[in-house]
A and B are shown apart, each in its own frame.
Chain A
Amino acid sequence: MALDRKVAYIDLTTGEIKTKPIPVKMRKLFIGSRGLDVYLLYNHLKPGVDPLGPDNVATISAGLLVGTLASATSRCHVAGKSPLTNFLGSCNMGGFFTPELRWAGFDHLVIKGKAEKPVYLWIHNGEIEIRDAKNVWGKTVPEAQQAIREELGDRDIKIMTIGPGGERLVRFANVMTGPKNAGGRTGMGAVLGSKNLKAVAARGTMDIKIAHPTEALEYNKRFITQITSAKVSQTQGRIGTPFIFGATNTQGLVRCQNFRLNQLENSDDVEAEALDEYSIGMAACFGCEVHCRSKYIIPEGPYAGVYDEGPEYTHQCAFSAEPGCRSALTILEATHLSNIYGIDCLESGSMIAWAMELYEEGILTDKDTDGLELRFGNNEAVTEMMHRIGRREGLGDILAEGPLRAAKKIGKGSEKYLVQVKGMSNLNSDERATPSLALNIATASRGSDHLRSRPAIDLYHLPEPVMRKIYSQPVPYDGPLTSDYRDYEGKAWQVFWHETTYMAVDCLGICKYHTTFLGATLPNFDEWSKLLYYNTGLEMSPLDIWTAAERASNMERLFNIREGLTREHDWLVDRYYDEPTKLGVPGVRGRTIDREKFRKMIDEFYGHHGWDENGVPTPETLKRLGINKEPSYVL
């Protein structure tokens, strides 16, 4: 059964490994993956530990529907205390690693302690072995995976690994699988690096029994059709996420030159169509019909002829609009560098753009950059800084510390140029004209992040009845809703609704591109309830799934509060309130976020959660969700 996968506790200091089954009761409470991960962390991680010390705990997990007949359920979640934010660390990726982990018998790995020397885990049909990584340590992301396959003599082994960035404790290092699937936020790669854990290799041939196979087959066919009939999925399958760039940049919703501008003008050379020239076809994650990963070969330069995958919308902006560059080749090269070093493209691009603004302002000089002309628009500077961050050389060593620590080291007022929340850089979108998107990044549970609660469909100007239909299920809502993305009214509910939705899919292991994140007609709680029943036999109504997701979100809030989070942390940098946007369509020009309205929005957002004015879950809320006695140490 899909419910019989276990949790393994692995102590790298002592070498002790224990396994436990996951009771159905816990499935109903937290479903799996991100939900159970935060439960495990709340139970096993002591508050206040050094994120890069042996006392940090890392969890690696697969969503509950991974490896069943539910399409596009490939997601892997890695969590712990973040070395970037000192709050919850949490990242999520697709690829082929987690189905293999489940066929090998496990859903959750809880990694404790620190190995004496570099090791990797080999997980095979219910067995876990800690192996010497001397032949793998120091290798890039692709090299490491190939080396492990060779060492274990099986080309079908799937591997999650860190790159040189994680080994060197870059505070925004990725965990990665395959050529480009990256768990790229909050620096979980550095956490694994600090534990001397280079990789986890998995291979399994254990059945995942499908509860109702005939129904699961038929329902999955309908589920797939629902997804592929959406225009947004078709576009994505054709050119990948870069399609978002044109739509948002044209309006003036893209961060450019760090935060000076909100649009990259004359952007033809870096639009999706320009990048598509280099694409040799599309690739898919496990069981996915959308196939949104572009395959490309770098046409010229030092990496001429090298194969890689991406670039995504995030790479595209991080290596063009943010540093003010207009070179497709630079995007391709920098994407490749983020993939081989295993460092977050988003954080890297933001740090480089910030350093460029400091250089333009005279805060950083040629002496700091070792002669590198770190000006906006300098393509070579982008790739050179990617190398320096990945190797922790010169200024790269400082930037590798992430926004707040780097600003502290550089000083000279550099912190006021940062574009971050809770010590994590903001996505390359500009939210000054979109209060709902601004509320999302201000309140996300893993630092500034768009994938936790962004109501991206707010940009579509959906008719109010359509919004009403989406946002009134599976819990009723009769408050205000408006189609104008510049409004403040009702947006707090949308952010809360999306937050709960994304938590649900992160627990189930479904990719967010198959949810209302991108398209109003894409699957939702009703569909997930059926998928869950046909595949696993678990009976959970749409409302049950919603409540489980809400429960897990509250656990994340409790975790963050235990680590010192206060209302002040749910706040944007001053630039959002003080510097009006300069470019874009008329409705977007001259916009800032209004402090007072934004405060009120946050109050409403807390209210929807059942949190008090300080953002702390009330005793009634915790009791309603049945988590008033945590930690309960069931797992």
Chain B
Amino acid sequence: MAKVLMIDYEKCTGCRLCEMVCSVKHEGVSNPARSRVKVVKWEWEGRYVPMSCQQCLSAPCQAVCPVKAISRDESLNRVGIDYDVCIGCRMCVAVCPFGAMGFDILARKVIKCDFCDGDPQCVRFCEPGAIQYVDAAEVSGVKQLAAAEKFTGILQKVAAAIAAV
């Protein structure tokens, strides 16, 4: 089964270790500007959201690429870039609805998540489990469970409140 990144921003503690391990894994340097994942933060609300490539099935970056440098790699369920073909026009950066296609100003190339070829380091190092690497079909199951818990929790609270009256 094809795997995807499942991001649960409520678990994110905002530490940005994912950005570091990503840039070290890919570029051998610590530099969030060259990371494929980024934690978007609202510090005074305590809200932190890791953002990365969704590996879209119908990927706008792939559709817009004028030289067909972007293609789908079904074996890893990912969208990849062929740097031998890429002309660096950054149209993919412009159309990505998640801002997940980055541009590395030092290497002068577009960059995106490649699942670290099947062993995503952001997942490996995320202690709170805000980023997980799971089978695509599992995601809805996890979400269902969370929603069901929330729903029944509310019902139980209402029932308790009525009983108390």
Contacts and interface: CB of A to CB of B under 8 A. Distances in A.
A136 interface: no
A220 B34 CA distance: 20
Contacts of A205: 31, 33, 105-106
A179 interface: yes
Contact of B27 (A69, A207, A285, A286): A207
Given A283-B13, A289-B127, A210 B30 contact: yes
A616 interface: no
Q: How large is the interface on A (under 10, 10 to 19, 20 to 34, 35 or more residues)?
A: 35 or more
Given A205-B105, A207-B27, A287-B16, A295 B121 contact: no
B121 A291 contact: no
Contacts of B30: 67-69, 207-208, 210
Contacts of B28: 209-210, 213
B21 A207 contact: no
A142 B14 CA distance: 18
B29 A208 contact: yes
Interface string A292-314: 00010000000000010100000
B12 to A, nearest CB: 9
B44 A207 contact: no
Interface residues of B, number: 30
B17 to A, nearest CB: 5
A281 B10 contact: yes
Contacts of A22: none
A96 B48 CA distance: 14
Nearest to B46: A295
A217 B24 CA distance: 8
A217 B14 contact: no
Contact of A284 (B14, B21, B25, B125): B14
A102 to B, nearest CB: 9
Nearest to A74: B15
A210 B24 contact: yes
A247 interface: no
B17 A207 contact: no
B124 interface: yes
Contacts of B82: none
B58 to A, nearest CB: 31
B29 A291 contact: no
Contact of A280 (B20, B29, B46): B46
Nearest to A209: B29
A96 B44 CA distance: 14
Contacts of B128: 291
A466 interface: no
B74 interface: no
B117 interface: no
Contacts of B15: 284-289, 291
A221 B127 CA distance: 10
Nearest to B25: A217
Contacts of B106: 205, 207
B84 interface: no
Nearest to B124: A221
Contacts of A307: 44-46
A213 B24 CA distance: 6
B17 A289 contact: yes
A207 B33 CA distance: 9
B14 to A, nearest CB: 6
Interface string A64-102: 000111010000000000000000000000001000000
B44 A283 contact: no
Interface string B98-125: 0000000110000000000000010011
A581 to B, nearest CB: 39
A236 to B, nearest CB: 12
A281 B46 contact: yes
A291 B20 contact: no
A457 interface: no
Interface in B22-73: 24-25, 27-34, 43-46, 48
A309 B33 CA distance: 27
B27 to A, nearest CB: 7
A224 interface: yes
Interface string A173-213: 00000110000000000000000000000000111111001
A100 to B, nearest CB: 9
Nearest to A292: B13
Contacts of A210: 24, 28-30
B17 A179 contact: no
Nearest to A103: B31
Contact of B13 (A69, A71, A206, A291): A291
A282 interface: yes
Contacts of A213: 24-25, 28-29
A481 B165 CA distance: 63
Interface string B124-145: 1101100000000000000000
Given A69-B30, A213-B28, A142 B44 contact: yes
A213 B116 CA distance: 15
B127 A206 contact: no
A228 interface: yes
A192 to B, nearest CB: 21
A203 B146 CA distance: 38
B61 to A, nearest CB: 23
A338 B128 CA distance: 29
A221 B125 contact: yes
Given A221-B124, A281-B10, 7 more contacts: A67-B30, A103-B33, A142-B44, A207-B30, A213-B28, A287-B16, A309-B46
Q: Which 3 A-B pairs have the closest CB atoms?
A: A284-B15, A205-B33, A295-B46
17 contacts: A68-B30, A69-B30, A178-B43, A179-B43, A179-B44, A205-B106, A213-B28, A217-B21, A221-B124, A228-B127, A281-B13, A283-B46, A283-B48, A284-B13, A287-B15, A287-B20, A291-B127
Interface of B: 10, 13-17, 20-21, 24-25, 27-34, 43-46, 48, 105-106, 121, 124-125, 127-128
